Amino acid sequence: MPNISRDEVAHLAKLARLAVTDDELDVFAGQLDQILDSVAKVSQVAAADVPPTSHSVPLTNVFREDEIRPCLTQQQVLAGAPASEQGRFRVPRILGEEQ
């Protein structure tokens, strides 16, 4: 006997604006019941003395330090562009076009 009823599944489907058939209500009720049972089991295992974690292994910041390195000048970058204007890449306008 599922802990979640067909009426509750129908209500959830209505809230999510999903069209659900009668057969799907039975299937979803069973599936949601399994999900709720699994969550209940995990809740039983989780103890108050165990801190919540986002990862199973401890992680530290893996980002590299910012350091200034030589790079291309604006003129060198724009020299390879098909078109430029006022020191920027010029691209075709796409806003406002009808589809």
pLDDT value of position 1: 39
pLDDT digits (tens, 9 = 90+) for 8-26: 999 999 999 999 999 999 9
Q: Over the stretch 36-48, which tens digit does the pLDDT of each residue have?
A: 888 888 877 767 7
pTM over 0.85: no
CA distance 6 to 17: 16
* Residue scoring higher pLDDT (56 or 27): 27
At CB < 8 A and 24+ separation, what contacts does 18-22 make? Answer: none
Tell which wins on pLDDT, 2 or 14.
14
62: pLDDT strictly greater than 90: no
